[in-house]
A and B are shown apart, each in its own frame.
Chain A
Amino acid sequence: MKKEKILKQIDRLKSIAIAEGIDLSSEINKLRAMLELESDDFQKEKQMKEVWEIVQNSRKIERPKPQDFIKNFIEDFIELKGDRRFGNDNAVIGGIGYFDKYPVTVVGIQKGHTLNENIEYNFGSPHPEGYRKALRLSFQAEKFTRPILFFVDTPGAYPGIDSEERGMAEAIAENLYYLSDLKTPIISVITGEGGSGGALALGVSDILIMMQNAILSVISPEGCASILFKDSSKAAEASVSLKLTSFDLLNLGIVDKVIDEGPGLEVNPEIGYKNLSEQILTSLQYFTSLSSRELVEHRNQKIRKIGYYKDTTGYLKKGISNTRNFIYDLFKL
């Protein structure tokens, strides 16, 4: 609407300029700048809608959940329960079976398709014992040099009194610690919602794969909006800023592969399954060909280089001793 008005105005000015023989170019340029701003806003709006749609799709109840991936991919699946410490967490499913001809250990975070399932699986929010079960099965996989497949779909680790009493922070930290050094291949797939530390705990891997319409975020867009804009209804806006889509994360060098879902997993999962299955098979072939030393070295380098910062050693060497001013100057550059 506004855009059309500006265009009309420009046309009018142009015709006046010609008819009267006067120079109106500066006025016309001003209007053009306004027009650009309008289309920027328009683009922003469009992008916000797209990203927000991805966020919502990633959470859809019809979308295949990790347990569906396991059913589809793993033959002779035998479920193994419990963390041998406290109990069995239904939000996390783990076990052994075959992927193609490879014996594998597989762990997924379960999310429900119905309310009852969701209550059983705690809406995909694990307690510490869920992460400890995952780690127990990972050590077992290492012992028998079985590759590990992680399928991740979670709003996050469960924030509750019991979770804290049983050491959620310690549980996640231990996973990050030991998985970084585990001497067997780890393939991690974010299938839906990758919620913060609770997802990362199963994300330390040799290859991090993301389904095209999955998300991975340091904080939920709603949580970010309520902190940043003091308004959780601005979640769509926050979701753009957080750069949580698969392609954003591919660009940032966090995710190694994005899997084409075709029409979208929630519409028809077949294409997504097929593409993912091929990628897992290629990855298994490659990573099982590496020695455990090469494998751990590769994984460590991959994790080690994540981060964006400026190393200002060069500036310091030039004899700028006052860090305070010099850092400020850097920003003005």
Chain B
Amino acid sequence: MDKLPDSIKKLFVSKDNSDKTLPDNLFVECPGCQEIVYRPKLEQNLGVCPLCSYHFRISVDEWINFITDANSFLPLFEEIVSVDPLNFPGYREKLESLYKKGLNEAIRTGYARLDGIKILMGIMDSEFIMGSMGSVVGERVARLFEQGMNENLPVIIISRSGGARMQEGVVSLFQMAKTSAAAKKFSDSCNLFISILTDPTTGGVSASFSFLGDIIIAEPNALIGFAGQRVIEQTIKQKLPEGFQRAEFLEKKGFVDFVCDRRKLRETLVKILEIHRYRR
């Protein structure tokens, strides 16, 4: 590839690109099999490598497109926006620049339909401060559960987050308690909560609502756990075993119901909803 002219190189993404989101380039080098994949083909395949089934991280809009019925997503709670309760260095500026980019917090919530079945949906956005949970994420998740309880609708949340948002200190820590309490009330109303864990789901999000689903589904190879790998390595002063904290590891240890290929996710969700008697 080194011999190619720069103008063509630009069309490729090198594999040492640490950000594993689906890149904008026309050709993408797959981190799974190192083959060059034509981007439109990748999109048709829901961001999954057609050769080796590597699951790329995809954006919120792509999730909406891939999973829900066309034009069925109706946003809720977008009017709730972040403030800077601790006057934390740099936080305000960070929020400002993210809002300017058009991002709307680390979770988007709303109504959607899956094969005509009405659901409430939350999709976390790892581009927004690593998908961290501050007051707004906590509030939107709590309201999502409350809405589901009031309307007897199932809730599906796609998680990916680095954990609690440091910049909101203990206020963000308590969003764990808030979302968990809301999940409990929702559960007591006998409605279904499906939690989908994608790469990565760690820290305060995994240790709260994400692990409280009636059914917990993980994406292949997704990093899922409580403590960060670097912290664990520093604590125990040894290298972590291959596959540690990956979706398949959690399935083996009994902490997720099953690992599901993204291309099978939609039909699987519809089946689960139907078994729970949610109707079109």
Q: A173-B209, A218-B172, A241-B86 are in contact. Are A309 and B81 (CB under 8 A)?
A: yes
Q: A164-B225, A243-B86, A308-B135 are in contact. Are A218 and B81 (CB under 8 A)?
A: no
Q: Evaluate contact between B92 and A331: CB separation under 8 angstroms.
A: yes
Name the CB-closest residue of B to A237.
B89
- Name the B residues within 8 Å of A328 (CB-CB): 96, 99-100
- Contact stretch, chosen from A22-30, A101-109, A153-161: A153-161
Tell me the A309-333 residues at the B interface (CB within 8 Å).
309-313, 315-316, 323-324, 327-328, 330-331
- Contact stretch, chosen from A10-18, A144-152, A176-184, A256-264: A176-184
Whether B59 is near chain A, meaning CB under 8 Å from some CB there, is no
Bound-state CA distance A197–B212 (Å) is 15
Bound-state CA distance A185–B193 (Å) is 28
- Contact stretch, chosen from B30-38, B119-127, B180-188, B267-275: B180-188
A-B contact count (CB 8 A): 207
Name the CB-closest residue of A to B180.
A176
- Contact stretch, chosen from A58-66, A92-100, A299-307: A299-307
Q: A161-B232, A164-B245, A169-B206 are in contact. Are A200 and B81 (CB under 8 A)?
A: no
- Name the A residues within 8 Å of B231 (CB-CB): 159, 223
Q: Smallest CB–CB gap between B118 and chain A, Å?
A: 23
26 contacts between A and B (CB under 8 A): A159-B227, A159-B232, A164-B245, A165-B253, A167-B255, A169-B202, A176-B207, A176-B208, A177-B181, A181-B184, A197-B203, A197-B226, A204-B181, A241-B86, A306-B171, A307-B174, A307-B175, A308-B168, A309-B139, A311-B79, A311-B80, A324-B99, A327-B81, A328-B99, A330-B81, A331-B99
- List residues of chain A with CB under 8 Å of any chain B CB: 157-161, 163-170, 172-174, 176-178, 180-181, 196-197, 200, 203-204, 216-219, 223-224, 227-228, 241-244, 249, 252, 254, 300, 303-304, 306-313, 315-316, 323-324, 327-328, 330-331
